[in-house]
Chains A and B, each alone.
Chain A
Amino acid sequence: MCKPIGLLTLQGDYQKHQQAFADLGRETFGVRRPGELESVSCLVIPGGESTTLTRLVDRVGLREPVREFACDHPVLGTCAGLIMLANRLEDERKGHFGVEPLGLLDCTVLRNGYGRQIDSFTAPVGLESLDGSHEPFPAVFIRAPRITRTGPEVEIIAEYEGEPVAVRRGTLLGLTFHPELTNDLRIHKAFLEMVDRV
């Protein structure tokens, strides 16, 4: 309860997450170096560019520390953050452009699964299995990835057009959309409840 929320601040829209947690009265702490994980209660991997994020994670030596941290701390990944959490990437083109995910969530992800920026969209998704609420959540998909396979231990929290868009295993939560770009704080709140239970 006393440690702040960790935010991976290597690149991306981490300020939007910071704002969301601030609106819920919670302090955040930026993580850019391995030792900084000791100061936080959980980790949020924001949206951004997954090519950039995976390269920076390796350059700053955060890959193994984050993997270890995730064993006993909650982690939330949104969009590029979900790509980071996945254990496999699907891509028609070879080599996945050097994107090496952390391999924490047993699922396969297709980057830019809906197309380019002009194909970005907002759609309502149900959150009942996350917090029991009945009101649909306005999910913002920006050059979003698609989850094409989930392993047996992975629970599907929300779907859009019959495909998973939010998945969970234990205290790892991955979303293909951006709750931080809306004023609806239900997902951040649900994540905080997970953090406070640990």
Chain B
Amino acid sequence: MDTPRDDKKIMELYRHKVGLAEMLKGGVIMDVTNAEQAKIAEEAGAVAVMALERIPSDIRKDGGIARMSQPGMIKEIQATVSIPVMAKVRIGHFAEAQILQALGVDFVDESEVLTPADEKNHVYKHDFKVPFVCGCRNLGEALRRIGEGAAMMRTKGEAGSGDIVEAVRHMREVTEGIRRLQLMRTDELMAEAKNLGAPYHVLVQTAELGKLPVPNFAAGGIATPADAALMMQLGAETVFVGSGIFASEDPAPRAKAVVDAVTYFDDPAKLMEISMKLGEAMKGRAVNEMDDKEKMAGRGW
């Protein structure tokens, strides 16, 4: 595989990876399961699509092992839309990631939505030319993934639930962790890195910037324009919508409404207009009624 060896090459490549994540800011990334849905997403103004065989709410319902999508299905979506196409690999499954890179996928999501392939290790992402996005529940987890080379972070939330509560918890955990760092003296940062289990140099960089060194997006449970606006106001720079669109009653207008809600996330009058005349949102399941075993956010570390 054509992987970079020296530091300068790795950093130049990393700039391209984070650069694409920058381009996706202020947008909506939608889960799609076929070319037709991908077309609807692009038409609605999505900045990218996530190609997967089943939306998370169906993965949850069907059970069994959830794996990387069939390459043929991803290829068909790549041929249908002109926006970036992302796809998921199981946590730690670098061979699936190699296949997605060979397919020319634009972003790989190392995702807790699929059944983990490794209980101990995540993929070493600097080995790849394709950029990676990873989920996190708190600052330590975010910094560990960035240390491995993730070019974009997102909250884990609780995928396929339609319940926003976990995404809110994870976004607040990350921003609160960053605020703590900013209050610390330089000589306290190493101890904090030890507490969080976070790589020291990424933690110092985060403290200096006052934000994660890569774009920070929201995912997991977003179902309405108001959910999208909530996450943006809490500091998300873009939102992923998984089951929220194609498990709803009338996907096309809802897809467009969520895109508009991200553009006008801080304008209540516009948000009111945008939220009118939408069909039923996805039914969803409250996270606090789920068994711990059913929850996906606990996968990975």
Binding site for B on A (CB under 8 A): 9-16, 32, 47-49, 51-52, 55-56, 59-60, 79-80, 91, 93, 97-99, 111-112, 115-118, 120-122, 140, 142-143, 178, 181
Residues of A close to B104: CB separation below 8 A = 115-118
A32 touches B107 (CB 8 A): no
Q: Is the CB of B83 within 8 A of A51?
A: yes
Residues of B contacting A80 in the complex (Cβ-Cβ under 8 angstroms) = 23
* B178 part of interface (Cβ distance < 8 Å): no
> 15 A-B residue contacts at CB 8 Å?
A11-B27, A12-B22, A49-B47, A51-B45, A52-B45, A52-B46, A111-B82, A115-B104, A117-B16, A122-B16, A140-B15, A140-B16, A142-B23, A143-B20, A181-B15
**When the two chains form their complex, are residues A49 and B24 in contact, meaning their CB atoms are under 8 A apart?**
yes
Residues of B near A10 (CB, < 8 A) are 26, 263
Closest CB in chain A relative to B117 CB, distance in Å? 23
Q: Mark B23-57, 1 if CB is under 8 A from A, else 0.
A: 11111000000000000001111111000000000
The reply to whether A122 and B15 form a contact with Cβ atoms under 8 Å apart is: yes
- Is the pair B260, A51 in contact by a Cβ cutoff of 8 Å? no
A143 and B84 contacting across the interface, CB-CB below 8 Å: yes
CB distance from A32 to the nearest CB of B (A): 7
Known: A51-B82, A116-B104, A118-B130. A12 touches B15 (CB 8 A): no
Question: Which B residues form the contact surface with A (CB < 8 A)?
Answer: 12, 15-17, 19-20, 22-27, 42-48, 81-84, 101, 104-107, 129-131, 259-260, 262-264
Which A-B residue pairs are the 6 nearest by beta carbons? A13-B22, A117-B106, A11-B26, A120-B16, A55-B45, A49-B47
A116 near B106 (CB under 8 angstroms)?
yes
Checking A15, A49, A55, A140 against B19 with a beta-carbon cut-off of 8 angstroms, the contacting residue is A140
- Contacting residue for B25 out of A12, A112, A178, CB 8 A: A12
Among B23, B129, B259, contact of A48 (Cβ-Cβ < 8 Å) = B23
Quick check: A121 and B16 within 8 Å, CB to CB?
Answer: yes
B6: min CB distance to chain A, Å:
15
A102 to chain B, nearest CB (A): 17
Q: Give CA–CA (A80, B15) in the complex, Å.
A: 18
Closest to B260 in A: A59
Q: Contact between A117 and B131 (Cβ–Cβ < 8 Å)?
A: yes
Flag if B23 contacts A12 (CB, 8 Å). yes
Taking the closest CB of chain B, its distance from the CB of A144, in whole angstroms, is 10
CA distance A133 to B236 in the complex (A): 39
- The CA-CA distance from A118 to B131 in the complex, in Å, is 8
In the complex, residue of chain A having the shortest beta-carbon distance to the beta carbon of B22: A13
Cα separation A13 to B26 with both chains bound (whole Å): 8
Q: Looking across the interface, which residue of chain A has its beta carbon closest to that of B43?
A: A98
Q: Are A49 and B263 in touch, CB under 8 angstroms?
A: no
Closest B residue to A142 by CB, please name it.
B19
- Taken together as a complex, chains A and B put the C-alpha atoms of A73 and B27 apart, in Å, by 27
Task: Given contacts A12-B25, A117-B106, A143-B20, list 17 more A-B pairs with CB under 8 A.
Answer: A11-B25, A11-B27, A11-B262, A12-B23, A13-B25, A16-B22, A47-B23, A48-B23, A48-B26, A51-B42, A52-B27, A56-B259, A59-B260, A97-B42, A117-B107, A122-B12, A143-B106
Cα A117 to Cα B12 with chains together (Å): 14
Contact B48 A117, beta carbon cutoff 8 Å: no
Q: Which residues of B contact A9 (CB under 8 A)?
A: 26
| A residues near B23, Cβ cutoff 8 Å | 12-13, 47-49, 79-80, 142-143
Decide: B19 and A118 in contact? CB cutoff 8 A.
Answer: no
Docked Cα-Cα span, A141 to B28, in Å, equals 23
Cα A112 to Cα B27 with chains together (Å):
19
What residues of A have a CB within 8 angstroms of the CB of B130 in the complex? 117-118
**A36 to B: closest C-beta gap in Å:** 12
Minimum distance in angstroms from B235 CB to a CB of chain A = 13
Chain A residues with Cβ under 8 A from B259's Cβ?
A: 52, 55-56
Q: Taking A10-B263, A48-B47 as contacts, is the C-beta distance between A181 and B22 under 8 angstroms?
A: yes
Whether B26 and A14, one on each chain, are in contact in the complex, defined by CB atoms closer than 8 angstroms, is yes
Task: Give the docked Cα–Cα distance between A174 and B24 (Å).
Answer: 20
From residue A172, how far is it (CB to closest CB) to chain B in Å? 22
List of B residues within 8 angstroms of A122 by Cβ: 12, 15-16
